Structure formats: structure tokens, C-alpha cells
Amino acid sequence: MGRRKNKLDENKANKVITFIEEYCSFTKGEWAGRRFRLLPWQRELITELFGRVKPDGARQYRMCYCEIPKKNGKTELGAAIALYMLIADGEVGAEVYGAAADREQAGLVYTAAAQMVRNDSRLSKRLRVLDSRKRIVDYQTSSFYQVLSAEVPTKHGINPSAIIFDELHAQPSRELWDVLTEGTDYARKQQLVFVMTTAGVWDPNSICWEVREHARQVQEGVIEDPSILPVIYAADKDRDNWEDEEVWKRVNPSLGQIFTIDRIRDDFRKVKQQPTRLNNFLRYRLNMWVTQYTRWLPMDKWDECAIPVPEESLLGRECYAGLDLSSTRDLTAFVLLFPPQKEGEYWYVIPELFVPQDTIWERVHNDRVPYDVWQKEGYIHATPGNVVDYEAVRNKIVECSQNYDLKAVAYDPWGATDLAQRLQDQDGIRMIACRQGYQTMSPATKELMRLVMQGQLAHGGHPVLRWCADNMVVKPDDNENIRPLKAKARERIDGVVALIMAIVAHSYVEQEGETGSVYDERGIITL
């Protein structure tokens, strides 16, 4: 909580607590329909927010910034505060607005408030719920609670007595925030802005980060601003161990009452099995701001897959491949993947990687990566000139198709269509165009992760492939789909991308069926 500048009026605080616990109710789950009982952290927040008053009797705080992990009961708390501000704050002509990044999100608090009205005969007698407009009206005082739509220009000229701002982190710009908060309190003695949010993806220019950092500095005593009440439950990335259950308990004040620690343990186990879930765990369970990207997998698990690859015994065996071409800076990668032929056998990997000979020294000097050593030890092929010689790449692919039963090659069509066409038309190698979006890459990236985490992959400890794996991060979307990206511009991930594309090729052929496909006569296939 922030610094306390004025006295605490317990009668004012108790008035709000009594209203919430006598008139409001839970609206979901096993407690649905029961009277609202404030949890200790909620009671403390209400007491401080409404009980701390200035000498003239008005509330000290004009804003409360409440940042807390998901599922700690902030939505129903926001709904209860909205109803109090609508009919019990002593404001004639009260205008209470629900705002969020979109009307659907803002409607979550409204839906809870509307159900609270329906659950109590006294509230339902006084208030009219207009679901079609997402509006609750108190005709007795000419007051209303209204969910706002997303169109910013239409919000000018409003006169809010209270604003319930949900998930501020999701705001695409500061426009709606500014329209609702800049100068709208001139005609209100004690306007209240109640912000409820979880942590978001870190953006130093976002309005939520701006408001959050101001609140944090107030909470830590760095600056003085008696008008804002900071309530922040969050783990600290520098001081806290995210795997420590004591940290989980500290930042989830509703733990043991709304949900049990076993729910967090389940999510934690999923992170250990799928590290790409880490960012969501940090955000939603520990309320930690995260970067847009997350590390792909633990390198100790990758290193456990450094099992020797028996290349001689793989001759003539069924395999699939991925081809990721480059011109100058990136690696050109052609990676073969051999599925197991019997239970308990590994998925074997053979990478063929190419760089231009004339750029090796520059790469060693600028990237500080031992390309020269890798060339001498046979881990990369250097082609003459300052760009990769695609004819050399083609010859290697043809050679591999002669040595192994190469079923299909997935390739990125960007800049590679000509080579792919020649490989298919002239060399008889089946080529599958594989675009680098979420839809195509996410399932294969997750499958590769599964093979690594379960120790079913054998890559022989290839150092360049390891370097690519260590450089790789993923960018999840809102549905936990992922796609591979470089952590830094100079780093290379092409070897692993080609391996993922090999999994795409295998999955495509498996799903399609190996015989009688109509696609065999249609030329290049695009995914």
C-alpha cells in the first residue's frame, strides 16, 4: 500500500464493506449466489481506499492501481465497487464507466455486477439492468453504470464519477486512458479510477507500464503522490525464485480460498514439460512482466540428446528433410530426420549446413563464433564466393536422396522456389512449400520440443546445431501457438528451423498417406 498522509475514517471504510457484504454476492463457481465475503487482502484494500480521507472528508485517493495474478477475485471485487459507486457513494447523477481494451473485456465486470443485482431483491428493485446496452440504471438518482465501446472519439465530454478500468496492460494505445482521465474530474469532488490488471508484455512506451511504474515508485517511497493507492502483488525477477512455492503464496493473496496451491503446481509441471509456457506462468501466476519472447527449451535437455548417430546403418532408410536457404548472413541448412522403425528407437538427425567461404573470417571476427573450426572439423560446408552456392546445396540434396529413402523435403518458399522446382522436376525429389507462420510451425516446434524433453531425439552433439538451438526463442500468440525466432540479430537458428521443417514434412506425408495421393501430380505443394 502507498504512503498514508491522512487519517483513517473507519466508519467510511465500514460503510463500503457493509454494502459489499450485505448487498453483493458471488456470481460464479461453487460460491455463486452466496453473499460476498471480502478476503483479507480485499478488505485491506477497501479499508485504505475508502477510509483514508482528507481534512475536508473527501477521499485521499483518486486512483487505485491494483495489479494481481489471475484468478484472485479482482473481477467480482471490481463489480462490487462499481455498484457501490453507482448507488451508495452519495453522488447524484453518478456516471460509472467500465473500460478495457475492448467491449467484451469490459463486459466481464458488467456481467458480474448485473448478476449481483439479479441475486439481491433490494438491488433488483432499485436498479434496472439493460443487457442489450450493457448498462445498469438507478432512476432514483439519475445515475448509471455503462460499459464503453472501443471508439475513442465518442468518449469526449463524459463526466465520470468512477471508472473501472480492467486489464489496462492490453490497451493498444493511451488514447482511451487519456480521454477518460485527463480533466474529467473537475466537476467531481472525489472521482475514483479503479485499475485492475495482471502483468503484461513489457513495453516501456505502453500506458499500463507508465501507470504501473508510477504506482510502484509511490509504493516504494521513491516519489510522493498521495492521490494514488498502489496495490501490487508480484514476484520480483531479480530477488525471487519463480520456482519457490513460498513466492507463489506471497503473490497470490487468494490462495487457499478461491483456489488451491495444487492448481499452481499443475501449471508448474506443465512448464517443466513445455518451457514455452514459462511466460504465461510468470504473467498469470506470479504477475511478472515478461518480454515478448521466451526461451525455447533447456539446453541440458538438448545435450542429453547428444547420442551418436549411426550414419552407416541409416543408408537406404526412410527419412524426411527441411531446407532453409540463405544468401549471405544466415546459414543454409538442409537437415535430415529419420523416424524410428521400431519401438524404443531414436529419431536420428543429420544436419548439412552451408556458408560462403569468403565470409567465414568476417563471421569469426564479428560474430565471435568459430566457423573456421567448424569448417575444419567438417560440421559445415563452405562454398566458393561470398554467397552460398545453391548448386552445391542441390548436389548435396541429390546425393542424400541417393543414399537414403528421402520421402519429402519441406522448404521455405521465400527465395527458394526456383531451387525447389528444379529439385522436384529435374531430380525427382518431392518438395513441400512450408510457410513460416504459426499454423504450420507451431505443431512441429512443439513436437520437436517433446522429442527433446523425452530424450527421443539423437543429434550426435553436432556443435552448430546446438548453437542454433541455444539461439532460438519462440513468440507465443494468445492461443499458445509458437514459432521460432532469433534471440539476437547476429545469431543463427537455421539448423533448428530446418529440423522443425523436416517434422512438418514427416507429418504432412503421414497425414496424407504414402500411396495414391492426388497431390503427387500437382507439382509444388504449399502448406
Q: What is the DSSP string of 476-506?
A: --TTS---EEESSTT---HHHHHHHHHHHHH
Give yes or no for residue 495 having a pLDDT over 60.
yes
pLDDT at 445: 93
Q: Render pLDDT for 236-273 as a digit per residue (tens, 0 to 9).
A: 988 999 999 999 999 999 999 999 999 999 999 988 88
CA-to-CA separations, 210 to 12, 204, 290, 409, 417, in angstroms, rounded:
31, 7, 15, 48, 46
Q: Render pLDDT for 319-336 as a digit per residue (tens, 0 to 9).
A: 999 999 876 566 899 999
The answer to whether 427 touches 394, Cβ cutoff 8 Å, is: yes
3-state helix, strand, coil in the chain (%, to 5): 45, 20, 40
Domain locations along the chain: 10-233, 239-292, 299-526
pLDDT greater at residue 292 or residue 49 = 49
pLDDT greater at residue 356 or residue 31 = 356
Per CATH, domain 299-526 is 1.10.340.30 = no
- Report the first-to-last Cα separation within the chain, whole angstroms: 53
Q: Render pLDDT for 112-130 as a digit per residue (tens, 0 to 9).
A: 999 999 999 999 999 999 9
User: Is 299-526 in the same CATH topology as 10-233?
Assistant: no
CA-to-CA separations, 285 to 167, 233, 249, in angstroms, rounded:
15, 10, 10
DSSP 162: E
Averaged pLDDT of the chain: 90
Q: What is the DSSP string of 306-335?
A: -PPP-TGGGTT-EEEEEEE--SSSSPEEEE
Q: Render pLDDT for 463-483 as a digit per residue (tens, 0 to 9).
A: 999 999 988 888 777 778 888
Q: Render pLDDT for 305-319 as a digit per residue (tens, 0 to 9).
A: 999 999 999 999 999
Question: In this structure, what are the phi and psi dihedrals at residue 146, rounded to the nearest 5 degrees?
Answer: -135, 130
Q: What's the chain's Rg over C-alpha atoms?
A: 30
Q: Which residue has the cell 569468403?
A: 358
Q: Render pLDDT for 434-468 as a digit per residue (tens, 0 to 9).
A: 988 888 899 999 999 999 999 999 999 999 999 99
Give yes or no for residue 155 having a pLDDT over 70.
no
Q: What's the fold here for domain 10-233?
A: Rossmann fold (3.40.50)
CA-to-CA separations, 351 to 44, 445, 484, in angstroms, rounded:
60, 17, 18
Mean pLDDT of 393-422: 92
pLDDT at 186: 64
Give yes or no for residue 522 having a pLDDT over 80.
no
pLDDT at 437: 85
pLDDT at 328: 58
Q: Which residue has the cell 547420442?
A: 307
pTM over 0.75: no
141 Cβ contact partners less than 8 Å away, ≥ 6 residues apart = 87, 91, 92, 93, 94
